[in-house]
Copies of this chain bind each other. A is one copy, B any other.
Amino acid sequence: MMRRLIVTSCSVLVVPERGLCRVEADQDILVEDGVIAWLGPAGSGPDPAGAETVDGTGMVAVPGLVNAHTHGPMVLMRGAAEDVSVEAWFNERVWPMEVNLTPDDVGLGAELACAEMLLSGVTAFADHYFHAERIAQAAVRTGIRADIAPTYFSSRGRAALEESAATAAALHGTGGGRITASLGPHAPYTVDDADLTRVAELAREMGVRVHIHAAEHLEQTESSLARRGVTPIGVLEQTGVLDAGALIAHGCGITAADLPLLEAHRDRTGVACCPKVYLKHALNPLTPVRSLLEAGVAVGAGTDGAAGHNTLDVWEAMRLIALTQKQAERDATWMTVSDTLRLATHGGARALGLGDRIGALEPGRAADIVLVDLGGPHCRPVHDPLAALVYSARASDVRTVLVDGRVVVRDGRLLTVDLPGLLAEIEARVPALLDTSHGTAVQHYAP
């Protein structure tokens, strides 16, 4: 039997592929089997008899936000690596702590990450981490959508590469299609060219994409050029990773010479911009968002892991992209509220390879719908709902969240997770997680 649901009498954020976004007042959204079947003026659509009703009065329905790059389980290390350099962050704090993580820890962290994201209106995320199957389980259980890449370092050996590909193959398409997988080589400085070439082959064979950190900052690009005469993006091109389709995390070190390589693969390339961690790590320049968009490359908003970003709040990431891009380009008229909202929704969807399925509220797309309340005193009066969404709204203004047409957050309460129980389990693990007396690390950072 068909599952039917109707969101009644809401405003709807319309996100076209280019040009101005707009908000249409007093709309109904009819959902059938998880897909938007009809959207239009309230009361004028097909008979919603038998449909579950979600009252959208006073709310703005926005496409679920997309977190285009994170390491969900790192919420376990939130706030445990502050005020340190990039090198110390990796080598003295995070990579030593990650030695402590058990698969169960990853599952707990992933569940908390999914909970935090759903409560804040993030309905899809691209993850890159160890024990990917535990992340997929958490995503399935909590009701969120995810593209999951099992992290691989060449130091783990070729068998581990094949194993990560097998994990990805097993996950891809599960959860009623809500879970997709990518291959997850860590970065060109931790995965050698032969492995990258094999990853690209496997990705093409499997029909999945490659999620990889590359050109994270300009010093990495310069180091790559000095060591081997090619930029990190050049390495991705030479090894076939760009051809297979890549989600590139960060890209602050993308150069002008890299742009034609990315443009040539623009139909299958995405870049995730995570400005909070760039600022925290005192990086400059930032992701060249303007040039990437001009080249037709998809750009999404990401949070990176919470050991750097502290939250998985895509509202915050989106706002910081607008603010930092205006400053970086010295142009207050650029990265408009429309461009910013498009980036956090449709841009993220494209970056995940899901540009046809999610990222906008339109018939035929999955019903990943977030109802936001712009009625708080920090948003009023609402002269411009686009500006209110980008510059005033907070994650806590999210009231109701649907993924694939299923209500997972209602009136600010997450229906799919026992949060107090989960948090108690996590707190019990804290001492073991923080203990770095073992003196080892999952990897050494020296890009």
A160 within 8 A of B: no
Chain B residues lying within 8 Å of A112, measured Cβ to Cβ, are 377, 380
Number of copies: 2
For the complex, give the distance between the alpha carbons of A379 and B313 in Å.
Answer: 11
| Interface presence of A206 (CB below 8 A) | no
Contact A381-B281, Cβ < 8 Å, known A332-B84, A392-B78: no
In the complex, A430 has a CB within 8 A of chain B: yes
Interface residues of A, count at CB 8 A: 66
A276 adjacent to chain B (CB < 8 Å): yes
Q: Of B309, B312, B382, which one neighbours A79 at CB under 8 angstroms? A: B382
Interface flags for A329-350 (1: CB within 8 Å of B; 0: not) read 1111110110000000000000
Instruction: Note all chain B residues with C-beta closer than 8 A to A51.
Output: none
Report how far A330 CA is from B218 CA in the complex, Å. 13
* A330 (CB) vs chain B CBs: closest residue: B282
Q: Are B384 and A80 in contact (CB under 8 A)?
A: yes
The answer for the CA separation of A354 and B394 in the assembled complex, in Å, is 31
Q: Could you mark each residue 311-325 of chain A with 1 if its beta carbon is under 8 Å from any beta carbon of chain B, else 0? A: 111000000101110
A419 at the interface (CB under 8 A from B): yes
**Alpha-carbon separation in the docked complex, A404 to B21 (Å):** 45
Chain B residue nearest to A423 (CB atoms) is B380
Q: Which residues of B contact A384 (CB under 8 A)?
A: 79-80, 82
Q: Does A426 contact B (CB under 8 A)?
A: yes
* Residue among B77, B311, B396 making CB contact with A391, cutoff 8 Å: B311
A322 to B277, CA, bound (A): 12
Contact across chains for A83 and B377 when beta carbons are under 8 A apart? no
The residue on B at minimum CB distance from A387 is B79
Measured between alpha carbons, how far is A392 from B386 in the docked complex, in Å?
A: 24
In the docked arrangement, what's the CA distance between A323 and B169, Å? 39
Top 10 nearest A-B pairs by Cβ distance?
A: A79-B387, A310-B391, A396-B396, A279-B323, A79-B384, A282-B332, A80-B383, A83-B336, A116-B377, A310-B392
